[in-house]
Structure 1
Amino acid sequence: MSSVTQLANILDKIPSSIEILPDESYEFIQQAGSPDAHQAATPFLFIEGNLGVPKKALYRAYVEALVIFASAKKGTFGEGVYSAQAVHTLVASSVVILLANPGHLTALNVRKRLVQRRVLDSKRELELTAALLTSRNCSNQSILWHHRQWLLHRIYGLFDGTMQSSEAQNTLSQIRTSPDGEISSHVLVSREVIDKELSIASRACEIYSRNYFAWTHRHFCMELVMHSLNSIMDPTYLEEMAKLVSDEVIAIRLWIERHISDSSAVHYLVILIERLSAAGLIGILPFAFPHPENRLLPNVNDIAQTGAKDFFSSMSHAMSLLRSYPDHESLWHYFRAISHLADAKGDDIQAFTHSFIYPWACRSLSPSGFDSMRITIYAYRFLVWQAFQVGTSI
């Protein structure tokens, strides 16, 4: 059995995690196998659903898979003759190619065509991409995230494209059906589905720090939830989605506390709060209320009041982090963005400015352990921004 076939068969079982192992593990795995000669020669580890692939073995299989893939592709699409064997070979070789080179556009496009022909099951393909994204080699590949979003669109009838922060207001302006006609109407996506997507994005950010494409995928998921909060009338579903957004805000606050240099996380949280505020939805979130029975308020004035409470909560969070880690520029961005959303002239902001930011700007506050010059620069930048905000709002 060739290494391509071996690896493809293992990947067909959908591993829970995949790791590319260093080159020296190739010889170690061969020598540490069972007495059985075949097992001793197997260059892959597959234990309790976790797959380890030595880099040397992977790239040998990749070179072989490229040749097999080209031949099978011609046999499947080139002559217009549908060959079951060629399709099987194409599926097996393409998945090996994607593990080694997740940016291989041709392999992904072929798999899309097979999904459209219903040769590949959409949900199973979604599971496979989730497995691939557990590998650091794959987790920062934009094209693989786009493939996953395409599958989500096909299965659930979602919107086309991925939300960019500058397009946040218009992403969900229209719900479209699948271009090949498989989806006839918009399907409500359960919290379980969204939670899984957020979990995949979180894991990708852990294994590849500052993973822009994983955070963009998170935007994609929350825009779907935002659309549901704006358009779906079912109270049970609304409450489920509202609780999801609440949990997401709390989870990202905790993430920022543990990854204080992650500017992508800060940007995501600010955009999320900004979207909730602009849509008039921030007041329905459970984290804004002391009691669960007050989650869904019909009164607009009550929503406005609780929205202000949440801004105060976010402001307190930003101030607390900035006091603890003033030498991290990402936290200054966090505080400035929340200040802009709340009110740059607010009493809490002004009090914090006089008690904390002015002393740093004047260099009268310089505890040991910090780069005081850097913090002074950040403080001056904030004061310039604040002066501009106050001046333009008069």
Structure 2
Amino acid sequence: MESLYSHLTHILNTFPISEIDIFSIPIDAPAPADEHHPFLLFQENHQLAIPKKVLLGLYAHLTQKLKHHHHHSPLETLHMTRILLIQNPDHQTALSLRRKLIPHNDHQELLKKELELTSLLLSISSHAKSSSLWSHRRWVFHALFHQAPATRLCHDDESPILQDAIYQPHTHAIPLTQIEKELAFNLTACDAYPRNYYAWFHRKWIMHQLIHSTPSSASSSDHEKEQACDSERTRLLHFLSLHPRDHSATNYISFLITTTTIPHATRVKFIQDVYTILAQYPQYETVWSFLKFITISRTITIREMVVLLNSHPDLSQLLHSLNNDDNFSMFVTHASSASGGHNTLAAQELQVRERSLILCLRTLYFIGSHFQWAEWTDDVALFLLLRLPPPAILSSPDQPPFSHSLHTKLKSLLERFIVR
């Protein structure tokens, strides 16, 4: 194992690796005539593939070796912990040792290499959602650009989450080129691992550094900041069109809408663009969560929300279909005729429609209760929670009965959200 450790360390130190993959090989696979065996090195693409079995053996070997790290040089300890993190990105001992061994002052090159290492580790798809790695990456940024003291007074209009120490702007603003590079890298991690909460949280942090950098420390003008925010909104629209179910992405968009200072017309246009993308998939909860957020947070007025809701033809048709007395009565009082055992296209389409309808009603009832357009009652809430496809649930004997009074409450509420 020691020879394999030396071999892998040599490869990592010698070649500019930008991506690592961990793969499985058959036990009886013949050994290729390659100087880097058992590792696969693709120098043109800067990629390295490590056999899973070999990595597990190295992990066990280096775990024992690390127990005596005080007998090794700091450089050797950094080499050992690097390989441990390739196998286990949440190895707290390895990360803690690296933070202790890498000095902050006058060692910019070491810190830049540590930033490159976290990029390499996060390139592994299974590691892209490691909270420890993203936290360690922020530590590197703090060390590179010197975070301001946590005692900074917060403005009264700042939200409580932005008063957290992790969001405090740095004494030396992160250069705009570095921020753009970080945003591009971060988006690859968000794409590699769906609904990557920790990657999106890191994106909030890096954008906050840009938005709230002080004039005295800013490395870019206000105009350049505005351009960076415009580019960010464009990137997000493209990402959302590819990942309409990503709740973490819509949560980040909500963060961006409420924390960036932009003209009202620009804000409304961005909200409309986001809604246009999400409204194509009414069977997903993202569009309804987004509508609830921008309405409850008063980002837009209730009137603007109603107009927005009706602006997409699919959702407008959904609302008018519900508003039809016969359709509404049939929907709320009868279980789906589609059987869970019949996986036909027609059955799937019916399930998608029913899911869209009930998510729509849930959202309208939630907003209506918030603005006191409707009284929050347990019977309606219970009905809306349980009345959700698949049909096996709809036809369950535990499904609550739907009374005439419930019908009247929901029907009158629905009227408020329809533009005629």
Q: TM-score range by the shorter chain?
A: 0.7 to 0.9
CA distance in 2, matches of 1:221, 1:117: 20
Is 1:273 paired with 2:269? no
In the TM superposition, what whole-angstrom CA distance separates every residue of 1:17-66 from its partner, at most 9, and x where no partner exists? 11111233x764x62224xxxx27x2111212211111011111111111
Q: Cα–Cα, structure 1 residues 33 and 256, in superposed 2: closer, same or farther, change >3 Å?
A: same
Is 1:43 paired with 2:68? no
Shift of 1:117: 7.2
The aligned length equals 334
Which residue of the other structure, out of 88, 93, 106, is the alignment partner of 1:106? 93
Q: Cα–Cα, structure 1 residues 125 and 234, in superposed 2: closer, same or farther, change >3 Å?
A: closer
CA contact (8 A) 2:175 2:220 kept: no
Which residue of the other structure, out of 70, 73, 80, is the alignment partner of 1:74? 70
Alignment map for 1:311-390 (pairs within 5 Å): 311-339=267-295, 340-346=298-304, 348-349=307-308, 351-352=310-311, 355-359=316-320, 361-362=322-323, 364=327, 369=349, 371-390=352-371
SS in structure 1 of the partner of residue 77 of structure 2: helix
Matched letter for residue 275 of structure 1:
T
Matched letter for residue 254 of structure 1:
H
CA distance in 2, matches of 1:146, 1:389: 36
Q: Cα–Cα, structure 1 residues 58 and 381, in superposed 2: closer, same or farther, change >3 Å?
A: same
What is the aligned partner in structure 2 of residue 22 from structure 1?
24
What is the aligned partner in structure 2 of residue 193 from structure 1?
178
- Normalised by the length of structure 2, the TM-score is 0.71
CA distance in 1, matches of 2:281, 2:354: 14
Matched letter for residue 373 of structure 1:
E
Which residue of the other structure, out of 52, 75, 79, is the alignment partner of 1:88? 75
What is the aligned partner in structure 1 of residue 143 from structure 2?
154
CA distance in 2, matches of 1:117, 1:245: 30
In the TM superposition, what whole-angstrom CA distance separates every residue of 1:180-216 from its partner, at most 9, and x where no partner exists? xxxxxx2221222112221222111222221111111
Q: Cα–Cα, structure 1 residues 350 and 114, in superposed 2: closer, same or farther, change >3 Å?
A: closer
Is 1:227 paired with 2:212? yes
Query: Radius of gyration: which is bigger?
Result: 2
CA distance in 2, matches of 1:235, 1:101: 36
Which structure dedicates a bigger proportion of its chain to helix? 1
Question: Gaps (5+ residues) in structure 1?
Answer: 77-85, 177-185, 284-306
In the TM superposition, what whole-angstrom CA distance separates every residue of 1:108-156 from its partner, at most 9, and x where no partner exists? 1111111127788111111111111101232211111111100100101
CA distance in 2, matches of 1:337, 1:64: 50
CA distance in 2, matches of 1:267, 1:246: 18
In the TM superposition, what whole-angstrom CA distance separates every residue of 1:200-239 from its partner, at most 9, and x where no partner exists? 22111222221111111101101111112x6458695222
**Alignment root-mean-square deviation, CA:** 3.1
CA distance in 1, matches of 2:180, 2:169: 21
Runs ≥4 residues deviating over 4 A = 117-120, 169-176, 230-236, 350-354, 362-368
Is 1:213 paired with 2:214? no
CA contact (8 A) 2:23 2:52 kept: yes
What is the aligned partner in structure 2 of residue 181 from structure 1?
none
What is the aligned partner in structure 2 of residue 168 from structure 1?
162
In the TM superposition, what whole-angstrom CA distance separates every residue of 1:276-305 from its partner, at most 9, and x where no partner exists? 2xxxx112xxxxxxxxxxxxxxxxxxxxxx
CA distance in 1, matches of 2:211, 2:283: 34
Alignment map for 1:276-291 (pairs within 5 Å): 276=260, 281-283=261-263
- Normalised by the length of structure 1, the TM-score is 0.76
Percent sequence identity is 24
SS in structure 1 of the partner of residue 49 of structure 2: strand
CA contact (8 A) 1:322 1:331 kept: yes
Moved more, 352-361 or 99-108: 352-361
Q: Cα–Cα, structure 1 residues 236 and 4, in superposed 2: closer, same or farther, change >3 Å?
A: closer
Matched letter for residue 241 of structure 2:
E
What is the aligned partner in structure 2 of residue 244 from structure 1?
228
SS in structure 1 of the partner of residue 67 of structure 2: helix
CA distance in 1, matches of 2:236, 2:48: 29
